[in-house]
Structure 1
């Protein structure tokens, strides 16, 4: 358990720091945009959907790597690493826009849950990345961290992309 202490503390500090920054930072209102999208909300909805699809690949590849799904796929470790890297990169413009342009918000249940889940996800991400190279971790540590990260991403996707697509419509 001591091998997990430093990564967990770093993750908690990351999540809390993001939440405090989101609360104290005066939102700029300036939208971050990525070419090809009609606006920042569409960009966030589609990039978050991409992150969620890559997170599904993470879950599948982890199940194969941990022997829960029996398949002979010698390249599955590379799929797991690269889908995680791509998911993280796709999440950065979304997180930047949320924190910098909008800040944390607690005025509606959906937005509050979304804000808390975003901070929780990045805290888990830091915990998992710092725990990966450590020796002596309990066998349950990485699967639990990965499962919680996926759960947080599913919640983020439901409170952002699914909300956007069902409220505003499927637009690019």
Structure 2
């Protein structure tokens, strides 16, 4: 495939749209007046606990996503089970489903903050994660992409979620303990 093909243009357009989504989320989070409360579920001690556990669920599903992607791209030894593609798709859907209330809580209740480095990087990588997510979802609908495009998009999505989780859920569990 030569540079400048329709697939390359589509990939660059997807990246531009994802970047606009990331910036729009950051701007909304910065200009929105934080409400300091958004979600809570029965059985959890706080919205932050809910957020941390849902983020951990999303992270666990993302680990399966990475493992199943490695299997589908034949980067692991052994036979690839026939169900792995369907499991990969559904684990991704469930991971996003688990992450949406977390993002809503972060944006609506807390906003984009820079009170310290952890919070700043959490805000930046949260916006990055959803920008890459939008990019990847658009790319999934395109045919003729270069072979490395989807693995790079998936890897960036995984990286973004890992960093968001490290700066939020892991931090919460380290400071508050593993509690509901």
Give the TM interval when normalised to the shorter protein: over 0.9
- Runs of at least 5 residues in structure 1 that lack an aligned partner in the other structure: none
Offset at residue 36 of structure 1 (A): 2.4
Q: Provide the C-alpha distance between the structure 2 equivalents of 1:42 and 1:30, rounded to a whole number of angstroms.
A: 12
Question: Which residue among 143, 157, 162 is the counterpart of 2:165?
Answer: 157
TM-score (norm 1): 0.97
Matches within 5 A, 1:15-54: 15-54=22-61
Flag as ranges the 4+ runs of structure 1 deviating above 3 A.
none
Does residue 106 of the first structure (1) align with residue 133 of the second (2)?
A: no
TM-score between both structures, scaled by the size of structure 2: 0.93
**Aligned residue for 1:124?**
132
| Alpha-carbon shift at residue 35 of structure 1 (Å) | 2.6
Structure 1 residue matching 2:24: 3-state secondary structure: helix
Aligned length: 172
CA distance in 2: counterparts of 1:58 and 1:77, whole angstroms: 10
Name structure 2 gaps, 5 residues minimum: 1-7
Q: Which has the larger radius of gyration?
A: 2
Shift of 1:72: 2.7
1:32-70 deviation per Cα after TM superposition (whole angstroms, max 9, x unaligned): 112321111111111111000000000011011111113
Counterpart CA distance in 2 for 1:8 and 1:77 is 24
Q: Is residue 2:4 matched to residue 1:12?
A: no
* Contact 2:126–2:164 under 8 Å retained in 1: yes
Whether the aligned pair in 2 keeps the contact of 1:3 and 1:135 (CA below 8 Å) is no
What is the CA–CA distance in structure 1 between the aligned matches of 2:166 and 2:127, rounded to whole Å? Answer: 16
Aligned equivalents of 2:101, 2:163: Cα separation in 1: 18
Secondary structure at 1:11 match in 2: helix
CA apart distance, 1:132: 0.7
